[in-house]
Homo-oligomer: A and B are copies of this chain.
Amino acid sequence: MSVHPHPSGHRLVPTSPVDPPRPLRIAVIGYGYWGPNLARNVIERPELELAALCERDEARAAAFTQRVPGVPVFGDFDEVLDDPEIDAVLVATPPRTHYGLARAALNAGKHVLVEKPLAKTAAEASDLIALADSRGLVLMPGHTFLYSPPVNKVRDLIQQGMLGDVYFVTSSRMNLGKYQSDGVICDLAPHDLSILLYLLEQPVAQVSASARSVFQEGITEVAFLTLTFANGVTACVQISWLAPRKVREMVIVGSQRMVQYDDTAADESVRVFDRGMEFKEPANFGEHQLSYRSGDIVIPRVDAAEPLGLELQDFAHAIRTGTTPRSHAHLGLEVVAVIEAAEESLRRHGQPVLLKRAAERAAA
């Protein structure tokens, strides 16, 4: 496949501040679970234009056409690659295909947003990063939680020093999942890990994992990860496909305050607990039962914006301006590296595994 030299972010910068730039032309790759959300958000954003869908499945293609009558559907990815009018692709296909599709798109000069995980191995992820860098293209993993308003509210609280020193984090992510051959760590941990890396801004130094396979040997359905970050913060991550109640809860405990982030709690997703005054022992049974905290609680107002729309806005902005998107490829690589280490710990019956520093990994 020859390399198309033309559509880079730089060429799209408007020649005059008066003219608004033409919208970026986007192809969505895959119209399964996530593709419809991508397509809808592309349509809603003025800086983007939905130029094409790529989907081989006829029923899915038909569903798309009812909703978005005028947009062409390609059955073959090469048609997308060969179309010089398409600036960028959004890859929403199964994980095992991410590396190959992203690589081909970068080689064809397209900017790429690829659903998480960025690739199956750290080596693959590094390879994509190098390729994007050499071509001057944006490569962005779709860690959508980095655009979630409650996650950003928590990050703001940490960065403003409201929590003081962060001591530890716990995270639970459970639901009744669809059976996936890669196991529950690959499926769910990228969410927790991307959020933790984003909140703490620290690399993971060590990870240990234990897990259980209930239905089929070797395919884990519940796992517990214990992480130590470079600055000593510890974290415990519980993930499972076996729970009939969706759980999406993270607790961050600091020296000044504690934050509880429950993504299922609708308009009360972030709760901030003050330490309050010195703890007073309750004087009787009734008081004992009633009192579970020492200070005030604040439930800040959190914007209800859809994270995926903000993610696409950031993608467009990165293409236009050359800036690094919030969900950047190096963060995506870290996520993949921690998952590899967790799986090594599993193979070694739960022994802790040290992670190479990101710098060493880059040098390797």
Contacts and interface: CB of A to CB of B under 8 A. Distances in A.
Interface of A: 33, 37, 40, 43-44, 46, 66-67, 69-70, 167-168, 170, 172, 174-176, 178, 208, 210-212, 214, 221-222, 224, 226, 228, 232, 234, 236, 238, 240, 242-248, 251, 253, 257-258, 260, 264-268, 273-276, 279, 281-282, 284-301, 304-306, 308, 349-352
15 contacts: A33-B281, A167-B242, A176-B294, A211-B234, A226-B226, A245-B293, A248-B292, A264-B267, A266-B289, A284-B286, A284-B306, A285-B308, A286-B290, A287-B305, A296-B301
Contacts of A240: 168, 253
A288 B242 CA distance: 19
A352 B253 CA distance: 26
A264 B248 CA distance: 19
Contact of A275 (B176, B279, B281): B176
B244 A275 contact: yes
Given A244-B293, A293-B244, A170 B172 contact: yes
Contacts of A306: 284-287
Contacts of A299: 296-299
Contacts of A234: 210-212, 222, 224
A244 B210 contact: no
Contact of A285 (B257, B265, B284, B294): B284
A297 to B, nearest CB: 4
B244 A257 contact: yes
Nearest to A351: B351
B287 A168 contact: no
A265 B273 CA distance: 17
Nearest to A275: B244
A234 B258 CA distance: 28
A292 B269 CA distance: 12
A33 B283 CA distance: 9
A243 B253 contact: yes
Contacts of A291: 246, 267, 304
A234 B16 CA distance: 60
A264 B292 contact: yes
Given A167-B214, A286-B286, A349 B352 contact: yes
B304 A282 contact: yes
A245 B300 CA distance: 13
A261 to B, nearest CB: 13
Nearest to A308: B285
A282 B34 CA distance: 11
A268 B284 contact: no
B294 A301 contact: yes
5 residue pairs, one from A and one from B, having the closest CB atoms: A246-B292, A286-B286, A285-B286, A297-B299, A287-B304
Contacts of A246: 291-293
Given A222-B253, A243-B258, A276-B301, 16 more contacts: A69-B70, A167-B221, A170-B172, A176-B279, A208-B350, A224-B234, A240-B253, A244-B253, A244-B257, A247-B251, A266-B289, A282-B304, A285-B306, A286-B306, A289-B289, A298-B298
Contacts of A264: 266-267, 292
A266 B251 contact: no
B244 A276 contact: yes
